[in-house]
Structure 1
Amino acid sequence: MEMLDASSDPRAHEWIVRLGLSLDTVRDVLLFGDAEAATYTTYDANGAGEMARWSRHVRRMSELLVPQGWKRIDPLNQPTLVHPSGEHSIVVTSGTSLTGTAYGVPKTKNPKGRSIREAVRGNAELALMRPDEVDPDLSGLRETWILLTHADPNGRLQAELSLPSEMEGEQIGGWLRRILLPTISPSRIPEPKGDDGPASYEFSVARK
């Protein structure tokens, strides 16, 4: 497994550009999801905030990449963004606490469906997905990358762009390449009392 840290390794930036992304794009996606998740409270259904976070990640990534020629598809209900070249795609999903860290190997947080299992197998074999599983827009696909995200208990947003190689049960647990992305530390302002409206948010990361 190759691991590159975008905070210090120029090769990580080369890979990010090669994938058709930028650190600004990923930062925007993570902050968009965090702002949505922050509107949920303990009175919402269990897990609703994290589900909303993931949904907003998918939405914002689509909003930013589709105008650049990417195509959004949903094979077997798995939101997927296909690069204009058709040679690789990106799937956004949540990961365990080791996401974005160099001292351990993360897994996807939730079980993955058949479309992801076939994509992982395709990565490992350097082959296409099985024809009976392929959306026509994936006919030339060679690789499926994962934008793995995690919000720690202190609100820090961890992420990595990684190329999966192995399923452990229903979760991805093996990687051919991991590109660790800079951690983002949103700074939240406490929610005002009364009916003054929802809390506002400030972020410590400078936007370009």
Structure 2
Amino acid sequence: MAIHTPKTREALARLLAPMRLECTVFERAVAVAAAESRTFGPAAPKSAPEFTRWARTIETVHEGLMLLQQGWQRFDPENLPYFLQPELNLGLIVSSGNAFTGVTYGSPTTKNPKGSAFARRIDENGAVAMFGQPTGEGEVNVDDVRILLYDERDGLVHLELSRPVGRLGSFVSSWSERIIFPAFDLTLGSFTFEEGTDDEGFSFKIARR
């Protein structure tokens, strides 16, 4: 498993650019979703803040991807919000993660069990198994899927864009590559980049025994 921990905006941009992505898309999504999740009082359903964060994250990512004009498209197979870059055969899904999201000392999983529409996209052998997605040019078979994982704790939102290769039951639990964003500081309203340097950050591989 390859883990990337870019420390600067420039270093993160270099990792995202080949996927035709920009960090501003995710920075705004985290900010909007965190703010919306705090609009509920104690009388609201307990699931309201978490569901709203997920929904607003998807909505704001959608808006950001469309504004990039980098060929990203949106589909909702079986009511699963799903983004596709057909020229790269690249898919993107948004999900909450557990307490190991955004850190290098553990391996994250999706926070909640996923339904069949989500789980079928990671087969038991660790290969990506996306259904073909129809576009104006025909059907596209996706061979690279990334999951945007997020988790808020201690005043920070931890975020990573990772490539899944396997699941345990209904939880996605293993990864071939993780791009770990600097934590998003809710007080500052931005990622905690180490500006003024051009350090690539750590990048290392963990080999299975």
The structure with higher relative contact order (CA 8 Å, sep 6+) is 2
Give the root-mean-square deviation of aligned CA atoms. 2.5
Q: Is this contact kept in 1: 2:101–2:158, CA < 8 A?
A: yes
User: Which residues in structure 2 correspond to 1:1-208 (within 5 Å)?
Assistant: 1-7=1-7, 13-67=13-67, 68=69, 69-85=71-87, 87-121=89-123, 124-125=126-127, 128-129=129-130, 133-137=131-135, 139-152=140-153, 154-187=154-187, 203=189
Partner SS, residue 184 of structure 2: coil
Residue 123 to residue 78, structure 1, CA distance change in 2 (3 Å): farther
For each residue in 1:112-149, what CA deviation from the matched residue of structure 2 results, as whole angstroms up to 9, or x when unmatched? Answer: 122322322299336x53xxx54424623111100000
Distance 1:123 1:157, change over 3 A: farther
Structure 1 unmatched runs, 5+:
188-201
Distance in 2 between residues matched to 1:34 and 1:85, nearest whole Å: 32
Cα displacement string for residues 7-39 of structure 1 (whole angstroms, at most 9, x for unaligned residues): 269775433111111222211110010110111
Identity, % of aligned positions: 28
**1:89, distance to aligned residue in structure 2 (A):** 0.9
TM-score for both structures, normalised by structure 2: 0.80
Contact 1:123/1:163 (<8 A) preserved: no
Given the two structures, how large is their TM-score scaled by the length of structure 1? 0.81
The alpha-carbon distance between structure 1 residues 121 and 13, as it changes in their structure 2 partners (threshold 3 A), is: farther
Partner SS, residue 124 of structure 1: coil
Q: Unaligned stretches of 5+ in structure 2?
A: 193-209
Q: Per residue, is there more helix in 1 or in 2? A: 1
Residues in 2 aligned to 1:78 and 1:113: alpha-carbon distance in whole angstroms: 9
Give per-residue Cα distances to partners, 1:128-187, cap 9 Å, x unaligned. Answer: 53xxx54424623111100000111x2311000000011111000100101100101112
Per-residue CA deviations over 1:21-78 (Å, capped at 9, x if unaligned) read: 1222211110010110111222210121010000000000111112423111001111
Q: Could you tell me how far apart the structure 2 residues matched to 1:124 and 1:16 are?
A: 23
The number of residues matched between the two structures is 188
The structure in which a higher percent of residues are strand is: 2
Q: Is the 1:160–1:180 Cα contact (8 Å) retained in structure 2?
A: yes
